[in-house]
Chain A
């Protein structure tokens, strides 16, 4: 029953998209500057029905309707309600539903929120957006339909992978998708702007909040994903430069470059074509990322079950998008005058874009290179953290200095009148760095440079904050985001530098000593839970210097459906550091491998990333207010 309802709703949505494209193209021909009521009504209906379609799928998951293959493969009656719901988007087919919903919502709100802009620009945006919606709807219908039936209907489902049954991972896909898919609206807007020659600064005004919103959600999505990876995957890290992580980072770089250059387009009316390129690039990268992940070309922790047809469909869609956008771009491209001074805010925004594109392309090359070597020489190589760290981190150091200086430079033409204060800030950063190094006694040249440059950014942002509070002229959004980015890099640097890691093979009753710590394996318990059995270790960690004792309980969980072993890390968080303990069994012995890690500043890494996103939100509110 639910299957039929879902399929019918999908077909109606296809029909509505075609109808909207038709109405919109009719409306373009008419004179006057108003969009017909029919179009508003149809888009409203479209949005409502796609929600209906999505809730049909969620309902099938909640009621455990195993006549749907998708529910059968990804759910189980004994699963808690939250994970039944999140299970509906935790798989390939369901996540495509989420794609289409976000495409549709953004399309609807863009239409009703930009009433001051020319009619044809809005209509063309609507048309392009609906072409994308159609593309994904037909992908769902013909290749990845979540409503496909299985007969006879099984009594019980296969269950969701236990490591995916987690609150952070329940909200991770929706957050990330608002970022990823949200970028579609400025792809469509950019195409519409090219066609209708709407190249004024008002174009920048119409899309800037959409860019910021998608950026904020992208940031939050990446953050939640990292937090999940940190406590769930049990390796004690939060970023592995895994292809899928990279796929989420690529559009983030493009978005960051984009909203910085939008400021220039709005203020100075230059860089129009560059902004267009970035708009197009962001969504193309989002789809590319999805393609790489879903087609199974790249080997990663996140890989879903693969199907070559999927890859071919997405690749054709991607090519179509790239070629049509490139075609339009070349057709409409005209040489324009940049009129930018060497020492001006415009230059600094360009520098931001320069670095962002460097990060973007480096990550892209690193992600794609193994595919090429594999295809050309049949030699599989791995490009992992050491590559990215050696290539990117030294460049970040220079970037942070520009990031600190840039915001205070004036538009059009600037004079270096704050050189002395910059030197003072630099010396201050040096002093603090040496205090840190003196007390903790462990350093490399590169980590010193990272600490100095991030401190430079932090101190100058703090000074800006003080100044703007005095003048009561608030540029709070920028200051908050730049400041927290400085802190983010500082904490990552400190974390990387002062982490401690030791592993031992221990039996119950053993005690091991290392550095300033003593670790004691007190006992081991077996407990039964609703859908798994658990081996719980009881370990004591003693900090000899502070004479503090902490108890940690790492677990090994044995799941039945599907049958898997998972290792749950025990984490004790406090303000300055985390203790991170994992336990794993060693076959055919009473010994357990106990891995202890001390991870300083973890809490602050999350907080700074959170505040970074809050800065973006603030800007959205400021913009909305000033409109």
Chain B
């Protein structure tokens, strides 16, 4: 059980280091922005004028040397949080990001307790 938790923490770290890639992939950014005038499509998939404009803005921001994260913050400030597909980790979204892991650990504890109860008997 402890091993599982240990691995889990490692994977958490890995996944966050995975997110912090060095060179910026503009396609990746397009995919993570919502096309506000479409129904459930990203900037990358949409043919709308809005999507074309946002693409140009993103290219411009990359040229200015902004990081991926800065670009998302810029977009969220300008158009609202609705535009970014990856919710930012802030006070409001804290539960969203943390609850799944709490459930994962909680579920593990439940199974562990079921099995331990049985052990004590013998």
Contacts and interface: CB of A to CB of B under 8 A. Distances in A.
A584 interface: yes
A421 interface: no
B18 to A, nearest CB: 5
Contacts of A303: 39
B54 to A, nearest CB: 14
Interface string B99-120: 1110110011011001101110
Contacts of A436: none
B15 interface: yes
Contact of B4 (A242, A339, A398): A398
Nearest to A245: B40
Given A373-B92, A382-B81, A394 B111 contact: no
A361 B103 contact: yes
A374 B61 CA distance: 29
A299 interface: yes
A394 B12 contact: yes
Interface string B55-89: 00000000000000000000000001111111100
A384 B86 contact: yes
A390 B15 contact: yes
B87 A391 contact: no
A342 interface: yes
Contacts of A342: 115, 119
A341 B104 CA distance: 21
Interface residues of A, number: 56
Given A350-B114, A382-B85, A358 B31 contact: no
Contacts of B21: 444
Contacts of A332: none
Given A342-B115, A394-B14, A445-B17, A358 B107 contact: yes
B40 to A, nearest CB: 4
Interface stretch (A103-111, A362-370, A543-551): A362-370
A567 B115 CA distance: 56
Contact of B115 (A341, A357, A379): A341
A377 B82 CA distance: 13
Interface in A296-321: 299-301, 303
Nearest to A351: B111
A233 interface: yes
A586 interface: yes
A338 interface: yes
A386 B118 contact: no
A382 B87 contact: yes
B96 interface: yes
A449 interface: yes
A400 to B, nearest CB: 13
A82 interface: no
B47 A584 contact: yes
A587 interface: yes
Given A234-B45, A380-B80, A394-B11, A340 B40 contact: no
Chain A CB count within 10 A is highest, among B8, B95, B97, B107, for B107
Interface size class of B (residues with CB under 8 A): 35 or more
Contacts of B92: 373, 377, 379, 381
A406 to B, nearest CB: 13
Contact of B14 (A300, A383, A384, A449): A449
A425 to B, nearest CB: 18
B7 interface: yes
A625 B100 CA distance: 41
Contact of A398 (B8, B81, B86): B8
Contacts of B16: 390
A387 interface: yes
A301 B46 CA distance: 12
B85 to A, nearest CB: 3
Given A381-B93, A398-B8, A445-B14, A501 B103 contact: no
A347 B39 CA distance: 44
Nearest to B19: A390
A379 B81 contact: yes
Interface string B14-43: 111111010000010001101000011110
A303 B14 CA distance: 37
A393 interface: yes
A278 to B, nearest CB: 14
A446 interface: yes
A593 interface: yes
A386 B85 contact: yes
Given A358-B107, A382-B83, A233 B45 contact: yes
A350 B32 contact: no
Contacts of B83: 382
A603 to B, nearest CB: 22
B103 A362 contact: yes
A386 B86 contact: yes
Contacts of A327: none
A237 B96 CA distance: 25
Contacts of A397: 11
A385 interface: yes
Interface of A: 233-235, 237, 240, 242-243, 299-301, 303, 338-342, 347, 350-351, 354, 357-358, 361-362, 365-366, 369, 373, 377, 379-387, 390-391, 393-395, 397-398, 444-446, 449, 501, 567, 584-587, 593
Interface of B: 4, 7-8, 11-12, 14-19, 21, 27, 31-32, 34, 39-42, 44-45, 47, 49, 52, 80-87, 92-93, 95-97, 99-101, 103-104, 107-108, 110-111, 114-115, 117-119
Given A382-B34, A444-B18, 12 more contacts: A300-B40, A301-B41, A342-B115, A377-B92, A384-B32, A384-B34, A384-B86, A387-B85, A395-B104, A444-B21, A449-B14, A593-B47
Closest 5 CB pairs of A and B: A384-B85, A235-B45, A386-B86, A394-B11, A584-B47
27 contacts: A235-B42, A235-B45, A299-B39, A339-B118, A341-B118, A342-B119, A354-B111, A357-B107, A358-B107, A369-B93, A369-B96, A379-B81, A380-B81, A381-B81, A382-B82, A382-B84, A386-B32, A390-B86, A394-B11, A394-B12, A395-B8, A397-B11, A444-B18, A445-B17, A445-B18, A501-B27, A567-B47
